[in-house]
Amino acid sequence: MPFQLYTVNHLTHSLSEVAQAAAQAAEKESEWLDTPGVHSLVLVSTCNRVEIYTSADPEVRLVPASELPSQTQPLQVPSHNQTHDGSLAWNFIEGRAVAEHLYRVAAGLDSMVVGEAEVAGQVRRSFTRAQDLGEVHGLMVRMFEGALSTARKVASKTELTGLGRSVVSVGLDVAEASGRLPNWRQARVLLVGTGAYAGSTVAQLRARGVRDIANISTSDRVIAFAKNHGTRVVPAADLVPALQQADLVVTARGIGAPVLRREQVRDSLVAPDSTLTILDLALHRDVEESVRDLPGVMLWNLEDIRHRVPALAVSQVRRAHEIIEEGLSEYDAAVAARHMDPAIVQLRAIFEQAAAAEIDRLPAGDMISREAAEAAIHHVIAKLAHTPTVSAHMAAEAGLGAEWVGALATVWGLTPAVLEAALNAEVR
């Protein structure tokens, strides 16, 4: 059954449309999985892409035809991101192109920041979740395992991860370049969120020398997060005083509604010369857009950051592509091997049927004589040899004896000496 991919990502859509796709996918995941003809499904949702990988019968479509391109060529992008009725238009890919796309995504080549370190972990977590829920089977397991293995090779054999830093790192670079922050060792940072991006933010800040990082209490997880990451907790009721003391605010919660509102930021700017730098890393924006208009506030979100990503060394990207092609070749070999499964199953059934027939012929009782056992074994061998013997004679009569011997050598691992003897033997 062919693989299908439905994707909305930063390369073809705005981040607000990515957020819209994320909400739609979260709502419909169970419905999609229960669709007749769907056999596996993995949902990958990150800050800049939403992708539904599925193995399904050819006629099955998870997204209505009106929301797909008119043609289903690999990597085709819709000419308009909204359909005539206002629905979101998804990109659609099928066949081997799905594996090519996944391998590129896992390796970080399709990220907002090429070589982004977090994306492989996001793909792995999505795959693991699907496995835990029993939603992924067969060759799709092999495809994801191969993509993640290849991503590790790209990370270890190229400098792509170092050159293409994470979205968090680029965002911090943008904030630093503004010239409004003190030395990193003196900077006071207020963090909103306890997820993967929040953890990455703490790591990036520590690497830059930041010592004062506070977590605003927005959920029950903040205590454990602060303990694990060495940050201090600020009660939610003290948000405005915490904003007054902060040089930089980083939000990475993304719950679908702003957690930092205009009036809260405005109330924190008490002094005439008050300034505040805010970095909103949430896909579903954590900061009200109107905050940007407040005097003394400088706000960047993911849409701003995407236009400030650095260029990468061409040689590193080229090497990454080579590693991906090697990984895809291994995947193709695995797919080809799986295509032989029906023939192998049939062959085993023939063997088992021949053995069962001889077992039924054995004398009753717990013990049988050596002669009876030998006779049974010879009967099985004779039955298994009958069909190949007939086909060998037919092949020879048709002038295909050499091809038949070559095929037999491949199946049974015959040595060159045996082949030569078979092809050159005189009939007596």
316 is in an annotated binding site: no
pLDDT for 106 = 93
288 is in an annotated binding site: no
Round to whole Å and give the CA distance between 275 and 248: 10
275 is in an annotated binding site: no
CB 155 within 8 A of CB 120: yes
For residues 308 and 120, the model is more confident at 120
% of the chain exceeding 90 in pLDDT: 42
pLDDT for 317 = 80
pLDDT for 41 = 96
For residue range 270-290, what is the model confidence (pLDDT) as tens digits?
Answer: 888 888 999 998 877 889 999
| DSSP conformational letter for 230 | T
Q: Find the range with the poorest average confidence among 14-18, 68-72, 122-126.
A: 68-72
Q: Answer yes or no: is pLDDT of 38 > 90.
A: yes
* 166-309: CATH, from 3.40.50.720, 3.30.360.10, 1.10.10.10, 3.40.50.2020: 3.40.50.720
**Encoding tokens for residue 362?**
């054995």
**The pTM of the whole model exceeds 0.85:** no
Round to whole Å and give the CA distance between 88 and 84: 10
Q: Answer yes or no: is pLDDT of 347 > 80.
A: no
CB 48 within 8 A of CB 112: yes
For residues 329 and 351, the model is more confident at 329
CB 361 within 8 A of CB 376: yes
Round to whole Å and give the CA distance between 121 and 124: 5
Tell me the angle at which helices 196-207 and 167-177 cross, rounded to the nearest 10 degrees: 50
Residue 85 among the catalytic residues: no
Q: Answer yes or no: is pLDDT of 77 > 50.
A: no
118 is in an annotated binding site: yes
pLDDT for 79 = 44
With tokens 């290849």, the residue in question is 150
Span 28-37, mean pLDDT? 92
Q: Mean pLDDT for the chain?
A: 83
Give Cβ neighbours of residue 330 (< 8 Å, ≥ 6 apart). Answer: 146
For 95-164, strand residue ranges (E) read none
Cα separation of the two ends of the chain: 52
Span 368-380, mean pLDDT? 79
For residue range 210-247, what is the model confidence (pLDDT) as tens digits?
Answer: 999 999 987 778 898 999 999 999 998 999 999 999 99
pLDDT for 63 = 86
175 is in an annotated binding site: no
Round to whole Å and give the CA distance between 118 and 106: 9
46 is in an annotated binding site: yes
**Encoding tokens for residue 123?**
């793909």
Catalytic residue (choose from 18, 22, 47, 305):
47
Q: Answer yes or no: is pLDDT of 256 > 80.
A: no
Q: For residue 361, count other CB atoms closer than 10 A to its CB.
A: 11
With tokens 């081997």, the residue in question is 96
116 is in an annotated binding site: yes
Round to whole Å and give the CA distance between 93 and 104: 14
Q: Answer yes or no: is pLDDT of 83 > 60.
A: no
Cα 346 to the center of its chain, rounded Å: 34
Span 310-321, mean pLDDT? 75
Round to whole Å and give the CA distance between 67 and 82: 8
For residue range 384-393, what is the model confidence (pLDDT) as tens digits?
Answer: 777 777 777 7
pLDDT for 131 = 95
CATH topology of domain 3-158: Beta Polymerase; domain 2 (3.30.460)
State how beta strands 49-56 and 38-45 pair: antiparallel
Helix and strand element counts for the chain (H, E): 16, 10
For residues 154 and 346, the model is more confident at 154
**Encoding tokens for residue 422?**
């078979």
pLDDT for 146 = 95
Span 167-179, mean pLDDT? 87
Span 253-267, mean pLDDT? 87
206 is in an annotated binding site: no
pLDDT for 376 = 79
For residue range 84-115, what is the model confidence (pLDDT) as tens digits?
Answer: 455 788 999 999 999 999 999 999 888 877 77
For residue range 186-197, what is the model confidence (pLDDT) as tens digits?
Answer: 999 999 988 777
Tell me the angle at which helices 416-424 and 401-412 cross, rounded to the nearest 10 degrees: 160
Phi, psi torsion values for 262, nearest 5 degrees: -55, -45
48 is in an annotated binding site: yes
For residue range 328-345, what is the model confidence (pLDDT) as tens digits?
Answer: 999 988 887 776 666 566
Of the candidates 171, 169, 148, 139, which has an alpha carbon nearest to the alpha carbon of residue 44?
Answer: 148
